Structure 1
Amino acid sequence: MTYQQLMGLANGYADSKVLLVANELGVFTAIGTGGHRVNALAAACGTTHEGMRLLLHALAGLGLLRRQAGRYWNTPLGLRFLDGHSPLAITNLLWLLNHHWSDWTGMARAIRRGRPGWATVTKTAEFRRRFALAMQERSHVLAPPTIASFRLPRNATRFLDLGGGAGSYSIALARQYPTLQGLVIDQSVAVARRLTRQQGLADRLKVRTGNLFTLPLATGFDVALLSNVLHDFSEKENLRLLRRVYQSLRPGGKLFIVEYFLNPAGIRPAEAAIFSLLMYAFTDTGRCYAWKETEGWLATAGFSRCRRHRITGTIGTLEAVKR
């Protein structure tokens, strides 16, 4: 790493915060498909004229807005992902990343004194609703290639999505395999219920509120899915969860785990190692785990024939079969 790269890394938070603040204020949505002047956007977003002018200059400088004849316009990228009216908007995902700012701000204290645990706000209905929406928005890009990597058992008809959040992967799976019926379980399922209805899948996808570790599970499922769940929990908790999943599957049934998987040293990919540190401050016991660690738990729980598949540079799927 060069000195210039070092300074770019040190100051990278500023570029990020410009984007996150603009999203928080609703700037991209206020601009929409038109072009607007500073005073109109300041009024629409409830800001001062000076503050909005400087923010718009920064956004234009970063290439996130286009300025022409004193008016500011969304770029094609902004119209697609930043305007809240777009079906592909990631406004809730950016809201979540902005929420994590407090986790990073308190990181030094957490490292010195220990994990702060789940913040009280994360247990509120509104936080859980927006968190689920953030995960749904994140799935726009990730769900299709992830589902495409799955090799389902022959004649599969039933699947379990444990900790399924907004039901994004269940919806993608049901659309890919028209004969499948699924059950989504999470602590908050309001968003999942709404999305399954919107997609016309309410007759094939059922949603149920419950604790992943204590809710009684049916048996005989052909497929089980754990998507971005393991990084919320400790090694001991994850082994307990995998044993529950094992009992819910039929012999020959398959489990698919979607995660930020690390190399054996725990340092690559860098994004996964950084996310693991964030989980230290955000959760009670969670972090990211190596492929090999997870395969060890699977073997202990009774699974066999593990198969790795890389989806992106940081996200992968791990497939295992119930003996």
Structure 2
Amino acid sequence: MYIKAPTSSDTPLWDRLMGNYTFACLKVAAQLDIYGLIDKGYNTSDKISQALQLSSKGVEQYLLILNHLGYIKMELAQYENTELAKNYLDKNSLYYWGEVLLDPFAIYDINHLDKKIITSLKREYELECKGRSVTDMWQNDEMDNESAAAFTHLMHSQGFASAVKAASDGIFKQVDTLLDAGAGSGTIALAFCETYPNRTAVLFDLAPVCEIAKEYVQKFNKTQQITIAKGDLFSAEWPTGFDGLCFSNVLHDWQEAICESLLSKAFSLLPKEGFIFIHDMLLDESQLTPSLFSFHLFMNHGSRLYSEKELYQMLTKAGFKNPQSHKALGYFSVISAQKP
């Protein structure tokens, strides 16, 4: 029997297989606070292994991975933290990703993701917390304080950097008072008020979430600019008196009919010539990460990311005009439109 060589390389398979370790290595970096150790002067593999009482050979190989991932670099035989690490692995950074990397709800646990994928394809796709559907808890205003705190911190880590970039780029410049609807920690409200110290925002979300948001508002010294309104998007009366409204990382949690309902509600409350904004990752089927994140949303909520074209269509259907897309940070964008 003559065996022919394969017609393509197996490199992509190896890349994906070894890719499982990249998130795990970042998670360990947060657990061990590798950034903090290097920042304190433990800047060689020997020093780090001694400080942590871990295998020196293992630590040396582990640090090589962090080097390849771009979080540390070697200079004059010593490790240094990169700008990437300074932004997202420093516990004191405004953009610290530890709340995501430590994964309190095991959302990204590789040990059960294969089973979760199969389950979601059978349309049993609810993300559970304490044995209950998180989606149901959101929609029925039944989120407990502990779960609300964990999710709010996690979502803040994922969204704040992009919110600050969007606000600093002037995307909200035509707004005087902004309603951050389904606000979570208030990433958009905080970024908006930081960019425009003489303007105001209203942060609107479930009561347990608002308790956590209050901590962020106080931390960033925005109590004079940001008002917090407790209530849910589906049954409570929404705040009024704003000329701009933003859904930040909200619509991707819901199926299209619910999104259309939320946009219609926003249209009815905005004044003439008021603006709506959608801050989110956009579905781009040509890119792997947005496609993966969209499937991640499907597995957890039965929802997905929406493309720029789909959001334009929903906004137009709700009555808005002149939808536009603005690049924010990384994979995130802001879609804006105006009420005639």
Using structure 2 for the length normalisation, give the TM-score: 0.79
Match in the other structure for 1:45 = none
Read off the aligned partner of 2:176 and give its amino acid letter. Answer: T
In structure 2, give the amino acid aligned to 1:159: L
> Is the alpha carbon distance of 1:100 and 1:55 closer, same or farther for their aligned partners in structure 2, counting shifts above 3 Å?
farther
Q: Give the letter aligned to residue 7 of structure 1.
A: W
| CA 1:61–1:292: 2 relative to 1, 3 Å | closer
Shift of the 98–215 alpha-carbon distance from structure 1 to 2, 3 Å rule, reads: closer
Q: Percent identity?
A: 21
Tell me, what secondary structure is at the counterpart of 2:96? coil
Equivalent of residue 128 in structure 2, options 109, 119, 136: 119
Shift of 1:205: 0.3
Provide closer, same or farther for how the CA distance between residues 196 and 109 of structure 1 changes in structure 2, counting only shifts above 3 A.
same
Q: Counterparts of 1:193 and 1:131 in 2: how far apart (Å)? A: 15
Q: Which amino acid aligns with 2:119?
A: A
Structure 2 counterparts to residues 91-130 of structure 1, below 5 A: 91-96=98-103, 99-102=106-109, 104-121=113-130, 123-130=143-150
Could you tell me how far 1:97 is from its partner in structure 2? 9.0
State the match for 1:165 in structure 2.
184
| 2:315 is equivalent to residue 295 of structure 1 | no
Q: Partners of 2:322 and 2:36 in 1: how far apart?
A: 48
CA distance in 2, matches of 1:53, 1:185: 51
Q: Sort the Cα spacing of 1:186 and 1:53 in 2 relative to 1 into closer, same or farther, 3 A.
A: farther
**Which residue is 1:62 aligned to?**
66
Mapped contact 2:185–2:210 kept (Cα < 8 A) = yes
The one of 299, 303, 314 aligned to 1:281: 299
Q: Distance in 1 between matches of 2:179 and 2:202?
A: 5
Which of 114, 137, 141 matches 2:157?
137
**Farther off after superposition, 96-105 or 139-148:** 96-105
SS in 2 for 1:250: coil
Q: Structure 1 CA distance, aligned partners of 2:180 and 2:211?
A: 15
Gaps of 5+ in 2: 1-7, 135-142
Residues 204/163 of structure 1: CA separation in 2 closer, same or farther (3 Å cut): same
CA contact (8 A) 1:186 1:209 kept: yes
The correspondence for 1:304, drawn from 321, 324, 327, is 321
Distance 1:165 1:6, change over 3 A: same
Secondary structure of the corresponding residue to residue 221 of structure 1: coil
Local SS of the residue matching 2:201: strand
1:107 and 1:3 map into 2 onto residues whose CA distance is 26
**Aligned 8 A contact 1:269 1:313 in 2:** no
Per-residue deviation at 1:134?
Answer: 3.0
Question: Which residue of structure 2 lines up, in the alignment, with residue 75 of structure 1?
Answer: 81
CA 1:120–1:100 in structure 2 vs 1: closer, same or farther (change >3 Å)? closer
1:24 is aligned, of 22, 25, 31, to 31
Aligned residue in 2 for 1:240: 261
Task: Provide the TM-score with structure 1 as the length reference.
Answer: 0.83
Change (3 A) 1:177 1:274: same
Give the alignment of 1:117-266 within 5 angstroms. 117-121=126-130, 123-147=143-167, 148-153=169-174, 156-187=175-206, 188-263=209-284
Residue 308 of structure 1 aligns to a residue whose secondary structure is: strand
After the TM superposition, which of the residue ranges 16-25 and 293-302 deviates more from structure 2? 16-25
Q: Is the 8 A contact 2:72 2:79 kept in 1?
A: yes
Q: Which residue pairs with 1:319 in the alignment?
A: 336
